[in-house]
Amino acid sequence: MGCGRVGSALALRLDGLGHQVTVVDQNPDAFRRLGAFDGLRVTGVGFDRDTLAEAGIEQADAFAAVSSGDNSNILAARVARETFGVTNVVARIYDPGRAEVYERLGIPTVATVPWAADQVLRRILPQGAKSEFTDATGAVSLAQTAVHPGWVGTRLTHLEAATGARVAYLVRLGRALLPGPDTVHQDGDQLFVLAPVGELDAVESSLARPPAHD
């Protein structure tokens, strides 16, 4: 639902991957963004049951509400989840407070403004950026962390033992990799760690210093 810049880009990518895609928007002129698109275009309100039925919601495997309105996105996501039983549902939300509430209700959200701000912050501050992801219970966060050069050459298992965090994955030379038991931290690696929310600052502080040697 929503054929703005995000919705049209998402639809075209899914279409290019061979998925059957339907785009719903109140404004038929918005469909011009789709260009060469093999999917279905439906004009209507994205949280209206009849509109969603016309779009094929009853056969849908997934639903993304990415219009420009928080209320519309949440309403549409709830109708898709609660009325039509769609399993994979996500809503784009601009208000981070609302995003947290709906995450706890089991509706995955993408909070656009906080995400963009966090991406900028992570590039101008070595520490203090917010997490990439926090689970729905608010207990565990995934965060990219700055690592002191003194850790280069250290096994990631040693880094985990020293900080109490878990290295979820790393990005090396532009490629994401899952670490193994013998993976060693190299210069230029970007580390993404999992840690309890309350311990994330301590993990970042530990990694900002060189490792302690026995």
Question: How many whole angstroms from its chain centre is CA 60?
Answer: 21
Query: 28-42, 70-84, 90-104, 161-175: which has the minimum mean pLDDT?
Result: 90-104
pLDDT > 80? residue 165: yes
Whole-number mean pLDDT of the chain?
Answer: 85
pLDDT at 129: 47
Share of the chain above pLDDT 70, in %: 87
pLDDT beyond 70 at 33: yes
User: Which whole number is the average pLDDT over 82-91?
Assistant: 89
Give me the mean pLDDT over the 33-47 stretch: 92
| Of 57-66, 128-137, 200-209, minimum mean pLDDT range | 128-137
What is the set of domains in the chain, with CATH numbers?
A: 5-113 (3.40.50.720), 125-207 (3.30.70.1450)
Residue 200 in tokens: 């994330």
The mean per-residue pLDDT over the stretch 22-33 comes to: 94
Give the Cα separation of 100 and 111 in Å (integer): 9
